[in-house]
């Protein structure tokens, strides 16, 4: 039975005990157990590690920790060994014996598992010195990788719940709100509404009870920072939520977790249970007069449920449709009671601000947007993963310094920020500083922090079509501009991608977009036009090529491309012939292959399997006719 914490002194005592206990162990081995690393086999590697440590009789000397996502997902599975902070990447079960016998026993570094700078070839064993991490400023993610998300004691050891003690025993609710206002913390969900003002509105709104809500319905495709925080450090979110509830005067809270994140729901549920056992949640928190309870609500899969009013109706058990917000949800939310909803990252910022002060928080970032922001940097960059940077850093720094540039030496084309509500930003605007206001100026938005990098192989018309189709599926259908507008946009864009576009389509698209952005009920419809408009604005020539020349320069739009085997390069290996799912390839071991264009379904399997680069994609040009008769191969010169 755990002893309940009944005062701030109890908490400090417990913290000292935990720290004293952990000092006995020399090494801590953190194994990333994020969803990404598990997919790459971290769980199997973990078993091997546990066995190997036991075999060497190191039990008691080495602590193995299952930690949350450390963000460098590209290089998973990842192991970090403290206190040296040695970072091993792409660790397989067969690497484990070396790690244990060399590093843990002899203190040497296993060179082959260490990060190698692709430009200089230099080996960088220390986590903090890898360029991907070096240029980051990790506040919210600082403890991902150090603590076991399923252990409240780990969180307490790194100073957890200290801010809660300070808030409950040294500050009045009004003082907390003033502090948050002074910190200039803005909603991390994307819109950037000042958090302090939202809290004050709910506090002053008439009606009891009041509710606080964590929005972890991270629906933006390409974004996963909320997942990483919920999976990797759920207590930090919970602590922020409790402080917020105390400041606002709420006694009940909800955590809304989307359906696709089972591990996040599991970890936050466990965190709630632990906090209750320790007296940090429930009746008379830490011996104060304040009581607060939290329930986890699993979403059922609807993008629009990430919108605040829709999320609240979903918690009520209804169809998650947004409502007009003449009256803010902060005043009338769940069951028409004042409800304060914030994003996961916003709540996680709160303990830091309370503990270190508003001034410190304001010193990071820009004047209009303080603090840090987490981006999930994905797409065609070398280093994909989670990136926490101070606001105001340029897109160029994120993509090229941290992200390590474009994969495979290709050319950068655009970066898409803010998910389906954001826009495409072209190369000439790469020096735009990243904050709420600057991104909006170039036609995009911060959104919840997705950042998808696109290279010359991405078709901008297809990318716009993708977002429109995504939103068409996700629109709740309540208001006409969004429902019908998206339907028409989708029809037109699909036509263009099929090579059936007309020149007057562009004007029609612009008209529909204008209506949607003015007249839609919620942000889903209003911002749905951003990807289309920015794509049109910055990449107009690609649209014209699709419409006039029936050409897709990125060779993505299926209707506009053809596969073709270069007879000069084909070595008649029969690989493509055997792999073609529809039997469209003709030829034999002696003769060059050719593709029957009538049969070809353009699946790209032949393109992928060809070892000689003989299969080509062509667009906007005539297909060379198949060789007459059987053409013998021209052997490649050795």
Partner 1 sequence: MHKSATTLLASSNIPSKNEVYLFVSKITSKSSRNNLIKILQAVQNRYGYLPEAGLKAISQFMNIPLSRVYGVATFYHQFKLEPPGRYVILVCMGTACHAKGNMNNYEFLRLLLGLDSNKHTTEDGMFSLESARCFGCCSLAPVIMIMSSDGSYKRLYGHVTPMLLKKIINEYRVKVLKEVTIHVGHTKRNFVR
Residues lying near partner 1 in the complex (CB under 8 A) are found at 35-36, 38-40, 73-74, 76, 218-224, 227, 259-262, 298-303, 314, 316-320, 376, 378-380, 384-385, 416, 419, 450, 452, 454, 458, 463, 466-467, 470, 476, 579, 581-582, 601, 603-605, 608-609
Q: CA separation (Å) from 264 to 105, 110, 230, 254, 528?
A: 35, 33, 5, 14, 28
For 293, how many CA atoms within 13 A lie in the half-sphere containing its CB?
4
**Nearest-5° Cα angle at 304, 413 to 447:** 40
* 390 vs 450 by CB, closer to partner 1: 450
Query: Closest distance between partner 1 and the C-beta of residue 581, in Å?
Result: 6
Query: Closest distance between partner 1 and the C-beta of residue 228, in Å?
Result: 8
Query: Closest distance between partner 1 and the C-beta of residue 609, in Å?
Result: 6
Closest CA to 116 of 455, 412, 404: 404
Distance of alpha carbon 316 from alpha carbon 261, whole angstroms: 20
* 477 vs 627 by CB, closer to partner 1: 477
Q: What is the C-alpha radius of gyration for the chain, rounded to an integer number of angstroms? A: 27
Query: Closest distance between partner 1 and the C-beta of residue 189, in Å?
Result: 16
* 37 vs 109 by CB, closer to partner 1: 37
Query: Closest distance between partner 1 and the C-beta of residue 335, in Å?
Result: 10
* 40 vs 528 by CB, closer to partner 1: 40
- Using a 10 angstrom Cβ sphere, with 0-12 exposed, 13-18 middle and 19 or more buried, the burial of residue 114 is middle
CB atoms within 10 A of CB 359: 11
Query: Closest distance between partner 1 and the C-beta of residue 529, in Å?
Result: 17
Q: Do the Cβ atoms of 284 and 291 come closer than 8 Å?
A: yes
- Using a 10 angstrom Cβ sphere, with 0-12 exposed, 13-18 middle and 19 or more buried, the burial of residue 376 is buried
CB atoms within 10 A of CB 44: 13
* 228 vs 243 by CB, closer to partner 1: 228
Query: Closest distance between partner 1 and the C-beta of residue 378, in Å?
Result: 4
* 476 vs 486 by CB, closer to partner 1: 476
Query: Closest distance between partner 1 and the C-beta of residue 305, in Å?
Result: 8
Distance of alpha carbon 156 from alpha carbon 16, whole angstroms: 10
Query: Closest distance between partner 1 and the C-beta of residue 425, in Å?
Result: 14
CB atoms within 10 A of CB 503: 9
Biggest alpha carbon distance in the chain? 90
Query: Closest distance between partner 1 and the C-beta of residue 458, in Å?
Result: 5
* 564 vs 607 by CB, closer to partner 1: 607
Closest CA to 30 of 3, 2, 70, 57: 70
In 422-543, which ranges are E strands?
424-426, 450-455
Cα-flanking dihedrals φ and ψ of residue 353, to 5°? Answer: -65, -45
Q: Where are the alpha helices (DSSP H) in 8-116?
A: 8-22, 35-39, 42-55, 96-98
Q: CA separation (Å) from 510 to 393, 487, 518?
A: 32, 14, 12
* 177 vs 585 by CB, closer to partner 1: 585
Closest CA to 235 of 311, 334, 158, 298: 158
Query: Closest distance between partner 1 and the C-beta of residue 260, in Å?
Result: 6
Query: Closest distance between partner 1 and the C-beta of residue 376, in Å?
Result: 6
* 15 vs 380 by CB, closer to partner 1: 380
* 320 vs 567 by CB, closer to partner 1: 320
* 15 vs 478 by CB, closer to partner 1: 478
Distance of alpha carbon 498 from alpha carbon 45, whole angstroms: 46
Distance of alpha carbon 504 from alpha carbon 506, whole angstroms: 5
* 115 vs 470 by CB, closer to partner 1: 470
Query: Closest distance between partner 1 and the C-beta of residue 131, in Å?
Result: 17
DSSP string, 383-425: S-EEEEEETT-BHHIIIIIIS-SBGGG--EEEEEESGGGS-EE
* 299 vs 338 by CB, closer to partner 1: 299
CA dihedral 465, 518, 515, 503 (to 10 degrees): -50
């Amino acid at each position: 039975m755990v002893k309940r914490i009944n005062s701030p002194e109890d908490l400090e005592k417990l913290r000292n005990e935990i720290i004293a206990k952990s000092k006995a162990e020399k090494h801590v081995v953190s194994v990333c157990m994020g969803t990404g690393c598990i997919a790459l086999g971290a769980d199997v590697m973990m078993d091997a590690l546990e066995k190997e440590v036991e075999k060497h009789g190191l039990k008691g000397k080495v602590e193995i920790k299952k930690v949350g996502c450390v963000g460098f997902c590209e290089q998973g599975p990842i192991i970090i060994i403290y206190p040296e902070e040695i970072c091993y990447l792409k660790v397989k079960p067969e690497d484990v014996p070396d790690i244990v016998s060399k590093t843990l026993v002899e203190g040497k570094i296993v060179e082959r598992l260490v990060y190698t700078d692709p430009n200089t070839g230099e080996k960088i064993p220390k986590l903090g010195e890898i360029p991907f991490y070096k240029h980051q400023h990790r506040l919210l993610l600082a403890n991902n990788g150090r603590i076991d998300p399923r252990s409240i004691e780990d969180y307490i050891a790194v100073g957890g719940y200290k801010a809660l003690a300070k808030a409950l025993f040294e500050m009045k609710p009004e003082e907390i709100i003033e502090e948050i206002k002074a910190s200039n913390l803005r909603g991390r969900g994307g819109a950037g509404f000042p958090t302090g003002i939202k809290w004050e509105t709910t506090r002053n709104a008439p009606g009891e009870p009041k509710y606080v809500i964590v929005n972890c319905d991270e629906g933006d495709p390409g974004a996963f920072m909320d997942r990483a925080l919920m999976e990797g450090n759920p207590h930090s979110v919970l602590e922020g939520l409790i402080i917020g509830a105390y400041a606002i005067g709420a006694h009940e809270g909800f955590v809304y977790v989307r359906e696709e994140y089972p591990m996040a729901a599991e970890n936050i549920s466990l965190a709630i249970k632990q906090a209750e056992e320790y007296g940090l949640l429930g009746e008379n928190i830490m011996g104060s007069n304040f009581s607060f309870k939290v329930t986890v609500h699993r979403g059922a899969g609807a993008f629009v449920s990430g919108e605040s009013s829709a999320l609240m109706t979903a918690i009520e058990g209804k169809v998650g449709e947004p409502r007009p917000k003449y009256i803010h949800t902060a005043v009338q939310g769940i069951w028409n009671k004042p409800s304060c909803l914030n994003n996961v990252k916003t709540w996680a910022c709160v303990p830091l601000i309370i503990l270190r002060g508003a001034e410190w928080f304001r010193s990071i970032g820009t004047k209009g947007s303080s603090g840090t922001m987490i981006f999930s940097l994905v797409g065609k960059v070398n280093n994909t993963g989670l990136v926490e940077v101070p606001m105001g850093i340029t897109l160029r720094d994120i993509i090229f310094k941290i992200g390590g540039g474009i994969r495979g030496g290709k050319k950068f084309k655009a970066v898409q920020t803010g998910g389906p509500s954001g826009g495409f930003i072209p190369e000439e605007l790469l020096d735009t500083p990243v904050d709420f206001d600057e991104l909006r100026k170039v036609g995009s938005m911060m959104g919840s922090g997705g950042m998808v990098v696109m290279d010359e192989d991405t078709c901008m018309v297809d990318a716009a079509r993708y977002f429109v189709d995504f939103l068409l599926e996700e629109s709740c259908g309540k208001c006409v501009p969004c429902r019908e507008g998206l339907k028409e946009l989708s029809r037109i864009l699909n036509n263009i991608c099929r090579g059936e576009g007309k020149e007057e389509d562009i004007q029609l698209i612009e008209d529909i977009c204008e209506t949607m952005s003015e007249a839609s009920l919620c942000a889903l419809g209003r911002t749905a036009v951003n990807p289309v408009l920015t794509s049109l604005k910055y990449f107009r020539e690609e649209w014209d090529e699709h419409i006039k020349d029936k050409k897709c320069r990125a060779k993505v739009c299926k209707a506009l491309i053809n596969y073709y085997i270069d007879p000069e390069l084909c070595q008649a290996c029969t690989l493509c012939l055997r792999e073609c799912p529809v039997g469209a390839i003709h030829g034999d071991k002696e003769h060059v292959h050719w593709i029957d264009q009538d049969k070809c379904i353009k699946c790209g399997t032949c393109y992928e399997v060809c070892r000689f680069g003989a299969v080509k994609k062509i667009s906007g040009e005539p297909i060379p006719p198949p060789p007459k008769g059987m053409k013998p191969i021209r052997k490649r010169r050795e």
